[in-house]
Amino acid sequence: MPLDYQIAERTLANGLRVVVSEDHSVPNVTVNLWVKVGSRHEVEGRTGFAHLFEHLMFQGSRNVASGEHFSAIMGAGGRLNATTWFDRTNYFETVPRGAMDLALWMEADRHGYLLDAVNQENLDNQRDVVKEEKRQSYDNVPYGNAIIDIYAAIFPKDHPYHHATIGSMEDLDAASVQDVHEFFRRYYGPNNTVLTLVGDLTPDEGFDAAERYFGSLPTIATDARALAYPLPPLPGPLRDEHIEVVPSDRLHVAFRLPVDNTPEFFASSVAMDIIGGLATSRLYQRLVRREQIANGVSAHTMGLVDGVSLGFIGIDVADGCSADVVEAAACEELVRFAAEGPSDVEMESAKAQSERGWLSSLASQEERADHICHHVALHGDSGYINTFLDRLDEVTAAEVQQAAAWWLVPESRAVVAYLKQERVAQ
């Protein structure tokens, strides 16, 4: 089914790229901004800073009081948030059409004039909040730090993706108001930002509103560094073992993958699905259904821009079974898949499930706006949401096999193992 979501695009004189996707199905507008700065831009000693900075964007700006961003937008019937990731920071709200101007005005105020409101007090407060976010999501739950360990194992030290977006407590402690000023001046400007509006508006209404509120924001000097050199697969297997108080053994088998938005990445992503993502995946069939040595298998693929992407397979080892036996079986399946490639049915299944997943993710204005911003900000392609399925459809079984044979072999794996403490101690 060819997709034909309406896309109109314009770049303002100050460099702000604006995309409008008209959709009158509900009387809402989603405002979504991607700023091309994320944790990959952080420097040593300041990990976690891009995310901490994102929190400060809710603490007021020149004409907006601290906390008012939440209260004013929610009080107008909006839902909003922001997220930070390796490659970018995004800010978004979905509001009734009649509150779109307020949302854009507030976004422009903080994207243009945040520093008027930043002070030691709100930095200290949000530093505390972010530390609790880290404790809640990583430090106080079983396996919580596994994802951080995966990044550290799979990406070399000094690589932009070696450290997690959440950063370290020490580095969060070290962040200063001065850092906030420098970071804002360096990265926050219209020419380093993409604005997408999806919903109950015409392209002209969107472009006019963007010009009205963002048109006066000054262009910043961008000093985009060159992307990191493309990383090949790991030259040999790595293992990072943690013996902890966890309810059961869990293995994370991680791989480097090719850069996002390339045929090679799409092929490797299909391979990850067939190996570990589908309910009929090789690993699920063998480990969970047939041998029953694992309770669950999941595959995760993260497309990234800086020379490399990431894929990993999570395996929950069944009680009384050996993590080593499970890992050996998984490696056998990797070798087998690399040698024989996918069957027709596997290709059909992976593509069918990807299609449903993609269409589901486009079902809401919020996610559609996010996909548009993503592909304009990181790949310069505003039409991606309409063309992705066609590109995926072009992936052949031979390409999937090739990708697997190069990227997804046991010799190139990093295993982050969380093993149950009491059993090992016996």
Partner 1 sequence: MTQHESVVERPEVSAPEPWSFPEAQRAELANGLGVVSYDIPGQYVISVRLAVPMPLDREPREREGIATIMARTLDEGTARHTAEEFAQLLERKGIALGAGVSESGLIVDVDVPKRNLGEALDLLSQAVREPVFPGNEVSRHIKIRLAEIDHEHAVPGQRAALEFISTYFDPAERASRPGAGTKATISAITPADVAAFHTANVVPCGATLVVAGDLSQVDVVSEVEDALGSWRGAALEAVESPEAARAADAARIVFLDRPDSVQTEFYIGCPGPDRRVEGGWAAYQVLGFVVGGSPSARIDAVLREDKGFTYGIRSGFRPRRHGGVFLTSGSVRADSTTEALGLLLEILDKAREGFTEAETQAGVDFIGRTAPGRYATADTVADEAAGLSLEGLTTEFTTASLRALADVDAQVLTKAYRRYVTGEWTVIIVGDASLYAEGVRGLSRGEVAILPA
Binding residues for partner 1 restricted to 42-81, rule: CB under 8 A? 58, 62-63, 66-67, 70-71, 74-79
Q: Which is nearer to partner 1, 37 or 287 (CB)?
A: 287
Q: Choose the stretch contacting partner 1; rule: CB under 8 A; options: 13-21, 46-54, 93-101, 256-264.
A: 93-101
Of positions 33, 180, 278, 378, contacts partner 1 by CB under 8 A: 278
Task: Give whichever of 195 and 288 is closer to partner 1, judged by the CB atom.
Answer: 288
C-beta of 47: minimal distance to partner 1 in Å?
A: 18
- Regarding 127 and contact with partner 1 (CB under 8 A), the answer is yes
Looking at beta carbons only, is 142 or 237 nearer to partner 1?
142
Q: Which among 15, 424, 396 is positioned nearest to 215, based on CA atoms?
A: 15
- Interface stretch with partner 1, choices 11-19, 219-227, 272-280, 372-380 (CB under 8 A): 272-280
* Residue 304 three-state SS: coil
- The C-alpha atoms of residue 79 and residue 76 are separated, in whole angstroms, by 9
Residue 227 or 279 with smaller CB distance to partner 1: 279
- Find the binder of partner 1 among 6, 11, 45, 135 (CB under 8 A): 135
Cβ proximity to partner 1: between 28 and 39 the closer is 28
Degrees, nearest 5: CA angle 23-28-31: 90
Total site size for partner 1, rule CB under 8 A: 84
Paired residues of 8 in beta bridges: 20
Binding of partner 1 at residue 27 (CB under 8 A)?
Answer: yes
Least separation in angstroms between residue 273's CB and partner 1 is 10
Task: Name which of 23 and 327 has its Cβ closer to partner 1.
Answer: 23
Closest-CA residue to 233 (of 406, 78, 33): 406
> In the Cβ-directed half-sphere of 109, how many Cα atoms lie within 13 Å?
20
Gap between the Cα atoms of 255 and 150, Å rounded: 9
- Tokens 């392609």 sit at which residue? 381
Which residues inside 216-255 make contact with partner 1, applying CB under 8 A? 216, 218, 245-248
Which of residues 349, 382, 401, 412 is near partner 1 by CB under 8 A? 349
Q: Of 292, 183, 238, 266, which Cα lies nearest the Cα of 417? A: 238
Q: Which span sits near partner 1 by CB under 8 A: 157-165, 251-259, 352-360, 392-400?
A: 352-360
Phi first, then psi, for residue 32 (nearest 5°) are -135, 125
d(CA 24, CA 45): 47
Residue with structure tokens 């949000």? Answer: 126
Name which position in 185, 239, 289, 391 contacts partner 1 (CB under 8 A). Answer: 289
Query: Do the beta carbons of residue 173 and residue 127 sit within 8 Å?
Result: yes
C-alpha span between 357 and 277 (Å, rounded): 12
Hey, which residues between 158 and 217 contact partner 1 (CB under 8 A)? 200, 212-213, 216
CB of 81 to partner 1, least distance (A): 10
* Number of Cβ within a 10 Å radius of residue 277: 24
Minimum CB distance to partner 1, residue 361 (Å) = 9
Which are the contacts of 353, defined by CB distance < 8 A and separation ≥ 6? 273, 277, 278
Segment 367-426, which members bind partner 1 (CB under 8 A)? none
Is there binding between residue 276 and partner 1 (CB under 8 A)?
no
Closest CA to 18 of 200, 216, 191: 191
Nearer to partner 1, 97 or 300 (CB): 97
25 vs 426 by CB, closer to partner 1 = 25
List 7, 16, 22, 28, residue binding partner 1 (CB under 8 A): 28
Residue 325 in contact with partner 1, rule: CB under 8 A: no
Residue with tokens 């995310």: 51
Those residues whose C-beta lies under 8 Å from the C-beta of residue 89, and which sit 6 or more positions away, are 34, 35, 37, 38, 50, 51, 53, 54, 82, 83
Q: Which is nearer to partner 1, 141 or 339 (CB)?
A: 141
